[in-house]
Structure 1
């Protein structure tokens, strides 16, 4: 058996000399201390602790030493590399903190400086008027009711005493949801909310129901396929047409100031008797009628403006909702919110209401009565 091989070339392992190792460490520490940025420190780590750094190369030469010398050399190189790793970590932390502070200073925003603010928004005129109308009724103790925009045929037509052959059910007015056999439609009025309120809340009942409605109308200056209504319903003992008239007079004066109303006989399936409500022209107050020298664009010199429909709730509607018409009576009314905005502001074209131009909303709100 041969003995241990103690022969090795001292030049081959010169990098493992203690003085040489100390020199590597001193040079590396100087590079670490000289690094002023994390980028420079990264380069110093590559040069002095990377895979081709002097200490890494020296570590590879340990295998060329005889067995009895390897332990000491390994400890020496390991201690040197550990010392550098600690120095790198400490310097990395210090540089990161310094760079973060410098970034915060560079990106600091002076909150006391004046800035150019974006233009202020504005409520849509329809939204604004609905809020005003709601305030009028809430002040009288009424409640606000809401319902789905996709309605059942029963709520939208049957419960409101609209017969199966009523023209309003036809495609020229109603937008039906596929499949037609499902009996679903986009509500043509907010009256279904009144049906739901009687079924769910019971009586006595004092509610208003503002919201969107949908009809297959032309898109022009005076018609929209999607518009807004506000309807009111009262069901209680002893309610009469006089209560309806007083309510509408109060609403008209709240919306238009000192203005008169009138009722013309009309027909609605869900009210009996029924009437159309007209407003005395709040611009000419009727003085333009028969006076060609002082024409009025608002009422077309007719002296009155059609506002909405109303009437005493049909007993069949009450019975459909489980309310005894022998004990309770009520009234209902409804008007278009979009057209009411036009009356109040003189807006000439309903299409402007859906264009989404905030300048229109500002101009309308600024000129509202």
Structure 2
């Protein structure tokens, strides 16, 4: 009789796991999934999002421009998806309400260290309607973190900030407490994402009437969220293809 060793089952990457969970949580709140290209033109990546021509984010020091392809960049955020989605809807004559999320890889021309990578993942959320407020944004974020951390107690606070594509803009901090929350995160205020009310110029650029509709948007780093959730010390591990790391999850 021949015996063969049982093969070890594969493990889901922490980023993939987070994306699956986020999709499921936001689906229960009525959001649909939207996707967009990794290689993007400057209009969808910058201009439509109200980013000025002289904004530092458009410098070669911050953005990967494609060689011999003028006007094309590696997208610097998943916000290009909200532009493409709204343009597609208004092009079909479909008015708000819209509620979408989009998760995917983005690129920044920056040095790598324990907390920064040139490639990382973002989760973008967008809600547009006739009566959307920051209170709806806060409630959505509260529920997301509560479910993600297994019924934890969640407090969310907004700090004023500036992003060209939202007005007003806020930095979102969360204090998450519970038995399923890592010690480094448990009960502490942690900066989690940038967000705000969609700028009227962004709505106009997508064919949405800002006199009738308004919306909010947020963008959070999934690599950072994974580090906080599982106590990962070095973000570079998540892009190392090291099976010893993956097999821990």
1: distance between equivalents of 2:11 and 2:188?
A: 33
Instruction: Select which of 199, 202, 207 maps to 2:100.
Output: 207
1: distance between equivalents of 2:184 and 2:56?
A: 31
2: distance between equivalents of 1:297 and 1:141?
A: 32
Q: Is the 8 A contact 2:153 2:178 kept in 1?
A: no
Which of structures 1 and 2 has the bigger CA Rg? 1
Cα displacement (A) at 1:362:
2.6
Other-structure match for 1:244: 137
Q: Is the 8 A contact 2:110 2:117 kept in 1?
A: yes
Other-structure match for 2:157: 262
Cα displacement (A) at 1:233:
0.3
- Structure with the larger RCO, 1 or 2 (CA within 8 Å, 6+ apart): 2
Other-structure match for 1:357: 242
Aligned counterparts, 1:293-312, within 5 A: 298=184, 303-312=188-197
Other-structure match for 2:32: 143
1: distance between equivalents of 2:184 and 2:60?
A: 32
2: distance between equivalents of 1:362 and 1:235?
A: 40
Other-structure match for 2:171: 276
Q: Is the 8 A contact 1:161 1:317 kept in 2?
A: yes
Q: Is the 8 A contact 1:212 1:226 kept in 2?
A: yes
In structure 1, the gaps of 5 or more residues are 1-109, 285-295
Other-structure match for 2:7: 118
User: RMSD in angstroms over aligned alpha carbons?
Assistant: 2.0
Q: Is the 8 A contact 1:281 1:298 kept in 2?
A: no
Q: Is the 8 A contact 1:121 1:358 kept in 2?
A: no
* 1:263-296 deviation digits (Å, cap 9, x = unpaired): 1111111111110011115489xxxxxxxxxxx9
Cα displacement (A) at 1:359:
2.4
* 1:65-113 deviation digits (Å, cap 9, x = unpaired): xxxxxxxxxxxxxxxxxxxxxxxxxxxxxxxxxxxxxxxxxxxxx7xx6
* 1:19-71 deviation digits (Å, cap 9, x = unpaired): xxxxxxxxxxxxxxxxxxxxxxxxxxxxxxxxxxxxxxxxxxxxxxxxxxxxx
1: distance between equivalents of 2:178 and 2:233?
A: 15
1: distance between equivalents of 2:137 and 2:75?
A: 25
Aligned counterparts, 1:91-106, within 5 A: none
Other-structure match for 2:57: 168
Decide which structure has greater helix share. 1
1:232 aligns with 2:125: yes
Cα displacement (A) at 1:120:
1.1
Cα displacement (A) at 1:240:
0.9
2: distance between equivalents of 1:218 and 1:298?
A: 25
Other-structure match for 2:209: 324
**Which aligned segments of 4 or more residues in structure 1 are displaced greater than 3 angstroms?**
281-284
What SS does structure 2 have at the residue aligned with 1:176?
Answer: coil
In structure 2, the gaps of 5 or more residues are 91-95
Cα displacement (A) at 1:360:
1.2
